[in-house]
Each structure stands twice: as C-alpha cells, then as structure tokens.
Amino acid sequence: MQELEQNVLEQYNMEISSTRKIRGAVLCDTNRGWFLLKEVSLTANRIPALCELYEYLRTEGYTHLDHIEMNREGGHITEMENGEKYILKRWCDGKECEIRRSEELVEASAELAKLHLLLQHPMENKCGQAEHLVKIYEKHDRELKKVRRFIRKVPLKGEFECAFLKAFDSMYEWAQAATEELGNSDYEKLRNDCFLTGKMIHGEYNYHNILMCRDMRSSKVAAITNFEKFHQDVQVEDLYYFLRKTMEKNGWKERFADAVLNAYSAIRPISPDEMDYLRIRLMYPEKFWKVASVYYHSNKAWMSVKNVEKLQTAVMQMKQKKKFLKAVFNEPVQGL
C-alpha cells in the first residue's frame, strides 16, 4: 500500500487486511468487509445530493448499490494536505458485467429499467441538469471542422492526419444529419418532461459500473456502482450509452441490441419518441469525434499507433452502424 493511500485510510474506523488497485481506485479488504477508495473531483455541494440519492434508493428497497462511508470526523470527503480528495465506499463482492455474455447484458438492461422507475423523485439538493443535446452536437460539429482546418495546414501529414481527412466528409455528413434530425424531433418535449417530473439518470451506466454475482450459475446483478455523475436527463440516455458501449464491443450485431432493448422495455416501456431519441443518438459519430478531440488536445507531433487504430475502428463501425440502424429501427438513414 502506498503511503498516501495509507494516510487516507487511517481517517476511517476500520482495520485494513489488504489492498489492490482496480481501475482508478483501490479495493480494500477490511474487518468490516469490502470498501473502495477513490480519488474524486466532487465539490462539497455535490455530496449532499449524492447521499440523498443513496438514502432515497435504500428507503425504496433498492439495496443493489454502493454508498459513501463517513470518516472519523463525520465527513464524506477526506482531503489530504496536497489537495487531493477521496471518498471511501462500501463495496460489493462481484465481478464486472461481461459485455459479450448476452444473459448478463439482459440482466443489466432489466436492472437499468428497474432503477429508472425509481429515479423519478423530487430532490431537496440540486443534482444538476443535462446540457441541451442540440448545443452539444453543434459544438462537436464545430470542433470537427476546427480539427480539419488544423490538419489541412499540417505540412508533413502522418498516417492519422491522412486517415482523418479521408474519412472527414462521410463522418461529418453523419454528424450534420444527426444534428438536424435531433432539432426536428420531439427531444425538447422529452427534455422538458424529465425536468418537470424529476427524472434522473445514472450518468455512466456501463459494464464497469455493473457488478454481477460471482456464481457462474447465476447472471444476476449484484450491485450498480459509481453514481457520482447522476443528474436529470432523458432517461433513455442511460440506455443509449449502455447500448452503444455494448454494440461497439459486439460488432453492432442486432441480436444483442434486440436483447438489451427487449429486456428494458419489458419493465419500463420505451415510447416512440424515446426510440427516435435512441436512433438519433446512435447516428452521431461519437467515437470519431472523441478520437479527433483527443488528437487536437494532445501532442500532435507524436500519435501512437493505437490512436490511428481507434480512428480506423470509428470509421469502420459507422459502416456497420448504418446497417444496424436500418435493421433495429426499421428505417433507412436518410441521405447517408
């Protein structure tokens, strides 16, 4: 255990048997069970809302989640002399959801639907509202054009720059189509409804934050973790994010999407407007934009082979996605 981690853990009433690193955090085996130590950038104002959410879910009988442990001084955040902030969370003994096992995806999707039915609650503490998606898309579109302008001026273009310019027109066409369709959709109605009724989302519902029971004979969800990014938004935004991550790992195979959507809608029916929202969200070349953004804000003099591969994968997956969107949503992508 590193000295800093030890100093943080000394602020809590427990005895540590062992620790190990897991995905940006430290898993602790203690005399009180499993805990997770995690550095955070949460503000003091955010913690009351997070604690209120955890308490509300528990009172509603939803116990499949982590929660923040208080330190010796009765605080939820432990701040060290160097300014770093940590939280310690009671953890569950489980394994990450295996994204290539359809039975686990079905359980995770059904669990999300159950969670969404509960995440409609007036909060005393402000939890934040999602930025308008049209503004986000328009910002991304501008950023893509900015990256293209920059690359065009690069005198000695490498493999990444050449691949980006070759793919740009097609990818930007997708981006503009998604932006236009979003503006013409009933997104505004969905967005206003979620604010009026207090609908909230997890904010980062992916396989890393879904723990499954370790018993291989069971595909049950053991816990949903890391609610730090929860806020008010159109609830199927969580479903879109989970579905996109799932499809990217499974080659955009329709059977996986059907399983995920059917499992969710069996518990929380998806309205036609929400299905349209999912379709438009999936249309946007998110991965292409993200790779371009990383390039623009990084050391452009040296781009790893991995980044070139990510760009090529993003372009390839948009081709797979075109067929996928037609099959799953029963309509072709206009003009693409």
What percentage of the chain carries pLDDT values higher than 90? Answer: 72
Residue 218's pLDDT is 67
Q: What is the pLDDT of residues 210-246, one digit of tens each?
A: 999 877 666 788 999 999 999 999 999 999 999 999 9
Q: Indicate the angle between helix axes 305-329 and 272-283, nearest 10 degrees.
A: 150
Say if residue 1's pLDDT is above 90: no
Q: 266: Cβ–Cβ under 8 A, 6 or more apart, which residues?
A: 110, 113
DSSP letter assigned to residue 213: P
Please name the helix (run of DSSP H) or strand (run of DSSP E) that holds residue 30, with its range, or none: strand 25-30
Residue 216's pLDDT is 64
Encoded amino acid at 24, one letter: G
- Provide the CB-side half-sphere exposure for 308 (13 A, CA): 12
Query: Do 227 and 65 contact (CB within 8 A), yes or no?
Result: yes
- CA-based max dimension of the chain: 62
Encoded amino acid at 36, one letter: L
Q: What is the pLDDT of residues 14-29, one digit of tens each?
A: 988 888 888 888 999 8
- Which residue is listed with tokens 């938004």? 233
Q: What is the pLDDT of residues 41-82, one digit of tens each?
A: 887 788 899 999 999 999 999 988 998 999 999 989 898 888
Residue 301's pLDDT is 63
Mean pLDDT score across all residues of the chain: 92
CA dist., res. 108 & res. 97, Å (int): 8
Name which of 37-41, 148-152, 274-278, 289-293 the model is least confident about: 37-41
Residue 111's pLDDT is 97
By CB atoms closer than 10 A (0-12, 13-18, 19+), residue 143 is middle
Helix, strand, coil percentages (3-state) for the chain, rounded to 5, are 50, 15, 35
Q: What is the dihedral of CA 110, 116, 118, 124, to 10 degrees?
A: 150
Residue 287's pLDDT is 96
Q: What is the pLDDT of residues 278-296, one digit of tens each?
A: 999 999 999 999 999 999 9
CA dist., res. 75 & res. 70, Å (int): 5
Residue 8's pLDDT is 87
β-pairing, 210-212 vs 95-96, is antiparallel
Domains of the chain, first to last:
3-91 (3.30.200.20), 102-329 (3.90.1200.10)
Q: What is the pLDDT of residues 152-189, one digit of tens each?
A: 999 989 999 999 999 999 999 999 999 999 999 999 99
CA 102 to chain centre: 19
CA dist 329 to 2, 102, 333, Å? 51, 20, 10
- Nearest Cα residue to 133 out of 198, 186, 202: 186
The conformational region for residue 83 under phi > 0 = left, psi -120 to 50 = alpha, else beta, is left
